[in-house]
Amino acid sequence: MKATDNKVGFIPRGIIPAVITPLTAEEKFNEKAMRKLINYLISGGVHGLFITGTTGEFYGLSPEEKKEIFQVTMDETKGRVPVYAGTNGITTRESVMLTQMAEECKVDAVSVLTPLFITPNQDQLVKHYKDVAASTSLPVILYNNPPKTGVNIAPATVAKLAEVPNIVSIKDSSGDLTLTAEYIRLTQDRKDFSVLMGRDTLIYGALLYGATGSIASCANVAPRLCADIYEKYMAGDLAGSLKAQFALAPLRIAFCIGTFPAVIKESLTLLGIEAGPCMDPSGPLTHSEREQLSKVLIGMGLLK
């Protein structure tokens, strides 16, 4: 069921790539490359698309560019999988503006990162998310990524926000599986709220605790492998799911080779999929770093 068919009760599930934003050499949005990437991901078995998130370099995109990405993605996807749009802002009014714009573009749901640069307390986070949720009829996904923002959503705060009808999920990129498990434990009685893993090395572990899927950067490069973690788990093949999780690990660990999200874009380029550069100052990998990444991809069987 698509979120737009039933705003309340929509539960994000499966493997949802945190889609890169393909750019030209001049750092302009590359529509043609985006359309090709969307089809590559869907043919790889993913269960949704998450655009203009951290991996999508949302922080460097203007509202006009984000709107174009929303429109192109919806046009190319054609309802085959749900589309989730990152509507992140430092201020509440910015997130509200982007959320309403995303709704006008008919995306299926939005994801809202905690404000960055500033450090709101938990009461302020509650107000921020409630105000964003009140501004839209779309399902809203909370997005916790303290390594990037310095702000952490406390489990009790998530439990409180889960009571808001159209706040339907949280993506946790903390890398702290205990925290993820607490989100699940404190919301497990709410059948209309789910938890998504945001750290690609912990998808299997989160599924064991009760997560409903993952928003995964690595799924840009290895969509089928990421989908296998989820699909094998759901089919009861725990050994197969764990095997796929271990097979994916080297790519996520390789993120340290360059400045994020360079490893994802360089991996796609090595696989013959147009991705373009990262936005400056996140420059390309050096020759030696690219060779190191190539060895990782060859070891995973993704590159010959």
Known active-site residue 233: no
Question: Catalytic: 143?
Answer: yes
- Alpha-helical segments (H) within 144-286: 146-149, 155-161, 177-187, 203-209, 223-234, 238-253, 262-270
Residue 8: predicted pLDDT:
59
Q: Is residue 250 part of a domain?
A: no
The answer to the question of residue 288 being in a domain is no
Out of 66, 67, 160, 171, pick the active-site residue: 171
Query: Residue 7 belongs to a domain with what CATH number?
Result: 3.20.20.70
Is 267 part of any domain? no
pLDDT, tens only, 17-64: 999 999 999 999 999 999 999 999 999 999 999 999 999 999 999 999
The total number of structural domains that make up the chain: 1
Q: Give a yes or no: residue 156 inside a domain.
A: yes
Residue 164 backbone dihedrals phi, psi, to 5 degrees: -75, 125
In this structure, is residue 149 part of a structural domain? yes
Is residue 284 assigned to a domain?
no
For 177-223, write each residue's pLDDT tens digit: 999 999 999 999 999 999 999 999 999 999 999 999 999 999 999 99
42 is in an annotated binding site: no
pLDDT band at 107 (very low <50, low <70, confident <90, very high): very high
Domain that holds residue 171: 3-245
Q: Is residue 3 predicted with pLDDT exceeding 80? A: no
**pLDDT band (50, 70, 90) for residue 9:** confident
Whole-number Å distance between alpha carbons of 29 and 74: 15
Residue 73 labelled as part of a binding site: no
pLDDT tens for each residue of 252-286: 999 999 999 999 999 999 999 999 999 999 999 99
Q: Is the dihedral of CA 21, 23, 94, 117 positive or negative?
A: positive
Q: Is residue 130 part of a domain?
A: yes
Q: H/E/C letters for each residue in 178-201?
A: HHHHHHHHHHCCCCCCEEEECCHH
Does residue 292 belong to any structural domain of this protein? no
